[in-house]
Amino acid sequence: MEYKFTPKKYYFLYGKAEPALKLKPGDVVETSTVDARGYDSAGKPLSEESKAVEGDYIPLYSNPLVGPFYVEGAEPGDTLSVYIEKVKPNRDYAWSRILPHFGSFTEEGPRRRFLLNEPIEEKVFDWKLDLDRNVAILQLQNSKLKRVEIPLHPFIGSIGVAPRFGRRETALTPGEYGGNMDCIETKEGTTLYLPVFVKGAYLYFGDVHAAQGDGELTGVALEVSADVKLKIDLIKGKSIEWPRLEDEEFIMVAGSSRPLMEALKIAHVELVRWLVEDYGFDKWEAFEILSQVGKCRIGNVVDPCYTVVAKFPKKYLP
C-alpha cells in the first residue's frame, strides 16, 4: 500500500514512541521532512505543539524526525529494508553555518571544549537552491571568487530505528541503529538495511541535506526541508549488527564510533562478515580482496560518533 503521510509531530529521539503510522512489509510511504532546525518548505518553524516530547526530559531540539513508523511483523533479529525512492528538497534555499565549539576544526563538539585558544565567531551562509537546474548557489563576500554554484545530491542525514538498549534521546548521534550518520549514500536509489532491535522496528528519519562534502567538516551541510518517499520491507530471521547499504555499484556498511579509526574498523569488520555469511567468502580471502578493491568514505567527523562507510564493489561478488 502507498501512504501519503503528513507529520503532526516531530521527534528528537530514536526509540519506542506512539507510532505515527503502522506499515506492512511492501508498503510505501511518502512524506516531507523539516530542516535541522525545524523549518519547513515554507520557511516556517515547528509549532510548539508539533514537538513531541516523550516523558519530561529536556530534548535537544535539533534534527526533528518524522515517525515513528511501526513495521508489522518486525521482531528483534530481523532486518528492516528501506528503499529510498525519493529525496527531493522542496524549497528554494538551504542554510549552513560554521560554529564555535562545534566541528572538529573550530574546537570539537558539540558541548565539549578541548582547547585554551579563543573560540571562533559564528558564520552564517545562505545558499540559494535552483531546483530546476538542481544546483545551489552561494554569494561570497570576502573572496576573489564572488559566486559558487554546486550540484545538489540530496540525501537523508538522519535515519534509523529504535536502538538495542534504551532510547537515544537526541537525534544527533549515529550508532548501530543508524541515526545521524550524515552519509551521502542514503540517497535516492539506495537500499538501507537496519537491524531490528525492538518489535515494530520504529523507523524515523529527517535532516535532509541538499549537498555535503566528505566528512561534513563544518558540522553543517546544506540544510533543507524535503519530500521523501520510502519503500519498506522486512527480511525475517536475518540478523545484522550495523546498518548496511546497497546501491547499483556497492554493498556497504556504515560504522559509527569514536575515535574515527574505530568507526573505520567497525565498518570493515562487519563488511567482511557480510561477505563471509552471505557470499561464501573465506574470511581471509574476503579481507584480502576488500583490501585491494574496497572503497571507504567518511560520512561525518563532527557528530558525537563519527561515521565511516566501507564499500565492496558488487562486480566482485560471486
CA dihedral of 173, 179, 185, 187, whole degrees rounded to 10: -130
Residues between 149 and 168 that touch its own copies (CB under 8 A)? 150, 162, 164-168
Among residues 26, 77, 189, 280, the one that binds its own copies under rule CB under 8 A? 280
Among residues 218, 224, 254, 303, the one that binds its own copies under rule CB under 8 A? 218
Query: Least distance (Å) from its own copies to the CB of residue 182?
Result: 12
C-alpha cell at 97: 553555518
Shorter beta-carbon distance to its own copies: residue 235 or 296: 296
Among residues 212, 225, 226, 229, the one that binds its own copies under rule CB under 8 A? 212
**Part in contact with its own copies (CB under 8 A); list of ranges 23-31, 64-72, 212-220, 230-238:** 212-220
Query: Least distance (Å) from its own copies to the CB of residue 259?
Result: 4
Helix or strand run (H / E) with residue 21: strand 21-23
Strand order across the 93-98 sheet: 93-98, 123-130, 135-139, 147-151
CA dihedral of 229, 181, 192, 196, whole degrees rounded to 10: -110
Q: How far apart are the first and last CA of the chain?
A: 34
Is residue 213 at the binding interface for its own copies, with CB under 8 A as the rule?
yes
Measured CA to CA in angstroms, residue 245 lies from 77, 110, 210, 250, 267 at distances of 18, 27, 20, 8, 11
Among residues 81, 104, 225, 307, the one that binds its own copies under rule CB under 8 A? 104
The whole-angstrom separation of Cα 311 and Cα 261 is 16
Q: Is the distance from CB of 29 to CB of 232 less than 8 angstroms?
A: yes
Query: Least distance (Å) from its own copies to the CB of residue 251?
Result: 14
**Part in contact with its own copies (CB under 8 A); list of ranges 32-40, 66-74, 141-149, 186-194:** 141-149
Is residue 98 at the binding interface for its own copies, with CB under 8 A as the rule?
yes
Among residues 158, 287, 303, 307, the one that binds its own copies under rule CB under 8 A? 287
Residue type, position 18, single letter: E
The whole-angstrom separation of Cα 96 and Cα 99 is 10
Shorter beta-carbon distance to its own copies: residue 2 or 277: 277
- What is the number of residues in the chain? 318
Shorter beta-carbon distance to its own copies: residue 7 or 200: 200
Residues between 237 and 266 that touch its own copies (CB under 8 A)? 241, 257-262, 264-266
Q: Is the peptide bond before 110 cis (omega within 30 degrees of 0)?
A: yes
Query: Least distance (Å) from its own copies to the CB of residue 304?
Result: 9
Shorter beta-carbon distance to its own copies: residue 29 or 98: 98
Q: Is the distance from CB of 147 to CB of 160 less than 8 angstroms?
A: no
Among residues 211, 251, 252, 254, the one that binds its own copies under rule CB under 8 A? 211
